[in-house]
Amino acid sequence: MNDDSHDETPGADSVALDPWGSSTISDYRSLFEEFGIEAFEDVLESVPAPHYLMRRAIIFGHRDYRRVLDAMREDEPFAALSGFMPTGDPHIGHKMVFDEIIWHQQQGADAYGLIADLEAHAARGLSWDEIDEHAEDYLLSLLALGFDADEGTLYRQSTNRELQDLAFELGADANLSEFEAIYGFDGETDVSHVQSVVTQMADILYPQLEEPKPTVIPVGPDQDPHMRLARDLAERTRFFKMTEAFASFELGDDERPLVARAHDARGEYAEDPDTPRCEEAAEWLRSADADVLDAYDDSTVESAIEKLENGGMEPLRPRLRFFDRRATDEAFDALVDAIDGEKRVFEGHVDVFEMDRETAEDLAVAVEVDHGGYGFVPPSSIYHRFMTGLTGGKMSSSIPASHISLLDDPGEGYDKVKAATTGGRETAEKQRELGGEADDCPVYELYAYLLAGDDDGLAEEVYSECVGGERLCGGCKEQAAELMEEFLADHQEKREEAREVLDDLDVELDSARAR
């Protein structure tokens, strides 16, 4: 369901993204421009057998998900991971994330589910006894919903030594000033909280320890700060940085598109278009029309022209440039040796002229891994809308009235739905005349996010009947309450079956830290 009327969810108006806050995000589309999140609808047609959360625009955005889709379609390795902070019972809002991990596993992903117990202890102050109480419940629900434990990986942060070692290494590439800028940490922030963030970065990159591969992390938009930092750290650990270049001098990221534009126009100004000269390109830019330069600020234009003028008669010629960021001498030499075709080797970088970018990136990763590096692929993410709590606002484990726990007695789930806030009018007469406000209705969301399951027809029917005035809130809540009761009864039966599976897994349910 791709109706634009579903673009807003009630909640706070701010688009500040706080991984430990409780605000909802009222204007999801503002995230596209402000934080570089792309609309999921742009890639939906490329998704094989998309999940209903994708079809209904509940998954509304992504960052670099095309990389994952390419691997999915081409039957190449990829991974999916999410973590669960055991601050309370798993609830129907968590089911979205469980479903996203399970769906990716069914599409061929190496799937990972983790208990973020270090974060729960450091950021939320939960005792280890409290954490242990809830950790098992999250794992049981994940297994009951279809996670294949034989093919996937489950772990706790506190008992995974490989993860902690990776976090230590990543910590060497992070600094407190950026934590202050990203998370608002200050002199009062305890060190364990800072350490828990680095551990989350290690979680995000953990699926790539054995081999680099595209990895998707399903999150709410409030978790995007973690994703941006993880992508930065993945790049910082790489042996080589690759950029496009046009001459021996280096261009800034803002200058490169302008010089590319000048190279594309070489037929207009170069004495020999096959060998345009830097100074010719500089002269063309100085006299270029406004439509060429309007997209760039004056300082960018001037600095690019100055560099081209200093290049003189050097040919303006596109090439890829590998910078030695942190490679050993042996790794840099191996990269140079592995490059076929024309190349120019300088102190600290090498230029190649006959290689496309994808081939070059694959080569750099292969050399890095062969010489002891990680070769991390920047992790991708998909973003889902928050479920509105049954009483309005964000659904939260720490607010019992706002959610339906996956552990609730089915009868209690029935009662909670019957008592939920709706988007109905003040009277039945007004409802029939004006229609209901399904877009502001927590009960409608129950259908769209959960109760309709894979049946798009049911979700569409509830919506259209509501806004058309045919459906009244009493009957709608009764139907939803019955479906919720059935879902909880079925889920809890499957949870009991999953206990045997969990007992056979190598997951420590009782923390050695508890006392």
Residue 21: pLDDT band by 50, 70, 90 thresholds? very low
What pLDDT, on a 0 to 100 scale, did the predictor assign at position 31? 66
pLDDT > 90? residue 423: no
Same domain, 366 and 395: no
Residue 11: pLDDT band by 50, 70, 90 thresholds? very low
Q: Which two tokens stand for residue 74?
A: 């081409």
What pLDDT, on a 0 to 100 scale, did the predictor assign at position 3? 33
Residue 22: pLDDT band by 50, 70, 90 thresholds? very low
**Residue percentage of the chain with pLDDT more than 70:** 92
User: What is the span of the domain harbouring residue 437?
Assistant: 1-237+378-515
Query: CB neighbours of 47 closer than 8 A, spacing ≥ 6?
Result: 54, 69
Same domain, 110 and 159: yes
Residue 26: pLDDT band by 50, 70, 90 thresholds? low
Query: CB neighbours of 139 closer than 8 A, spacing ≥ 6?
Result: 113, 115, 154, 502, 507, 509
Count helices and strands in the chain by DSSP H and E runs:
21, 11
User: Quick one: average pLDDT of 97-119?
Assistant: 97
Residue 20: pLDDT band by 50, 70, 90 thresholds? very low
pLDDT > 70? residue 64: yes
What pLDDT, on a 0 to 100 scale, did the predictor assign at position 28? 66
Same domain, 26 and 127: yes
User: Quick one: average pLDDT of 47-69?
Assistant: 95
Measured from the Cβ of residue 45, the count of other Cβ atoms closer than 10 Å reads 7
Q: Which of 309, 337, 370 is the last residue of a domain?
A: 370
Q: In what order do the strands lie in the sheet with 38-39?
A: 38-39, 59-63, 380-384, 215-219, 79-84, 110-115, 153-156
What pLDDT, on a 0 to 100 scale, did the predictor assign at position 82? 96
What pLDDT, on a 0 to 100 scale, did the predictor assign at position 140? 96
pLDDT tens-place string over residues 159-201: 999 999 999 999 999 999 998 888 888 888 889 988 999 999 9
Same domain, 186 and 95: yes
Given a contact cutoff of 8 angstroms between Cβ atoms, the answer to whether 423 and 445 are in contact is no
What pLDDT, on a 0 to 100 scale, did the predictor assign at position 188? 87
pLDDT > 80? residue 4: no
Q: What is the mean pLDDT of the chain?
A: 90
Same domain, 271 and 155: no
Query: CB neighbours of 112 closer than 8 A, spacing ≥ 6?
Result: 79, 80, 81, 82, 101, 152, 153, 154, 155, 206, 207
What pLDDT, on a 0 to 100 scale, did the predictor assign at position 339? 95
Same domain, 104 and 3: yes
Given a contact cutoff of 8 angstroms between Cβ atoms, the answer to whether 62 and 38 are in contact is yes
pLDDT > 70? residue 370: yes
For position 452, which CATH number holds? 3.40.50.620
Domains in the chain: how many in total?
A: 2
Q: Which of 336, 370, 404 is the last residue of a domain?
A: 370
Same domain, 203 and 113: yes
Measured from the Cβ of residue 411, the count of other Cβ atoms closer than 10 Å reads 12
Same domain, 51 and 160: yes
pLDDT tens-place string over residues 121-168: 998 888 999 999 899 999 999 999 999 999 999 999 999 999 999 999
What pLDDT, on a 0 to 100 scale, did the predictor assign at position 18? 41
Same domain, 125 and 91: yes
Same domain, 130 and 258: no
pTM assigned to the model: 0.88
Same domain, 114 and 74: yes
Same domain, 211 and 99: yes
Distance CA 104, CA 82 (A): 11
Residue by residue, what is the 3-state secondary structure of 344-402? EEECCEEEECCCCHHHHHHHHHHHHHHCCCCCCCCCEEEEECCCECCCCCECCCCCHHH
What pLDDT, on a 0 to 100 scale, did the predictor assign at position 12? 28
**Residue percentage of the chain with pLDDT more than 90:** 72
Q: Poorest-confidence range of 26-40, 262-276, 333-347, 421-435?
A: 26-40
pLDDT tens-place string over residues 269-299: 999 999 999 999 999 999 998 888 888 999 9
Q: Which of 335, 370, 405 is the last residue of a domain?
A: 370
